[in-house]
Amino acid sequence: MELKDRFLKYVAIDTQSDENSESFPSTAKQWDLLNLLVEEMKALGLEEDTIDKYGYVMGTIPATKGYEKAPVIGFLAHVDTSPDMSGKDVRPRIIEEYQGEDIVLNPSLTMRVAEFPELSRFVGHTLIHTDGTTLLGADDKAGVAEIMTAAEYLMSHPEVKHGKIRIGFTPDEEIGRGVDFFDVKTFGADFAYTMDGGYEGELEFENFNAASAKILIKGRNVHPGYAKHKMINAIDVACELNSLVPCQRATSIYRGL
């Protein structure tokens, strides 16, 4: 299957995660794509195809003859999309041979080159975008499609020499839980790369860890007539607490009540 067709197939599946859910994966609909990927890997002839009770999918592209002792390389991507905007009923639109013009998503929403100057980098490329009412889901179904397309190519081209390759797909990355139950030992890669964003040829080797904490600050509500030295504004407390955090080390978001 061509990369573009595979990508369009995946974005048609709603896999939005839910940060308020206590289950794992956080939404049952993520299983739709996860189970599909296992079946596709089996159809391609990959080995060690598994999906565990948490939804982690793993598979192996076996080493070509003579390269069995090469380091094991892993490739990873996540299937969920952000809870910030709907990922249901995605209507992708395709621009062939993009010429650098503004992109009209719908009558009320336009991506203007003046606001997104990086669009100029993609002149001559094929672009895929939504109609502006939903997410496209390229984060990270583009990565999923890239890995699966590469797997299909390697399985059908044994002349390309390589060591053992492990591929893995995870749920709930968008809500910071993507690795909560990921079995690194079972994955068994010596080196692994996440296919999730970036320009062609770009390799990121350092990043923040997305660790977070939620702090609930309760103020003290007192009638204004006798509130002096008694009323406490939760936002003021949050600002004071934020000022104590080294700005070089953390960005904090506080919810005041």
* Least confident stretch, 34-43, 180-189, 219-228: 219-228
Mark whether 239 and 180 lie in a shared domain.
Answer: no
pLDDT attached to residue 214? 82
Indicate the average pLDDT of the chain: 93
Q: Does residue 29 lie in a domain region?
A: yes
Mark whether 57 and 139 lie in a shared domain.
Answer: yes
pLDDT attached to residue 229? 87
**CA pair distance 142, 196, nearest whole angstrom:** 8
Average pLDDT of the segment spanning 96-104:
96
Residue pair 138/128 in contact (Cβ under 8 Å)? The answer is yes
Catalytic residue among 14, 80, 172, 174: 80
Mark whether 172 and 242 lie in a shared domain.
Answer: no
Counted domains in the chain: 2
Q: Does residue 204 lie in a domain region?
A: no
Burial of 192 (0-12, 13-18, 19+ CB in 10 A): middle
Mark whether 67 and 167 lie in a shared domain.
Answer: yes
Q: Does residue 105 lie in a domain region?
A: no
pLDDT attached to residue 253? 47
Mark whether 52 and 139 lie in a shared domain.
Answer: yes
- Indicate the pTM of the whole model: 0.85
Mark whether 66 and 135 lie in a shared domain.
Answer: yes
Q: Does residue 173 lie in a domain region?
A: yes
* CATH number of the domain where residue 56 is located: 3.40.630.10
Q: Residue 153: is its pLDDT beyond 90?
A: yes
pLDDT attached to residue 226? 87
Residue range(s) defining the domain that contains residue 241: 216-256
What is the bridge-based pairing of β-strands 109-111 and 47-51? unpaired
Mark whether 150 and 81 lie in a shared domain.
Answer: yes
Q: What is the pLDDT of residues 47-99, one digit of tens each?
A: 999 999 999 999 999 999 999 999 999 999 999 999 999 999 999 999 999 99
Q: What is the pLDDT of residues 192-241, one digit of tens each?
A: 999 998 888 888 888 776 667 788 999 998 888 888 889 999 999 999 98
- 173 as an active site residue: the answer is yes
- 80 as an active site residue: the answer is yes
**CA pair distance 187, 3, nearest whole angstrom:** 25
Q: Does residue 250 lie in a domain region?
A: yes
pLDDT attached to residue 197? 85
Residue pair 218/255 in contact (Cβ under 8 Å)? The answer is no
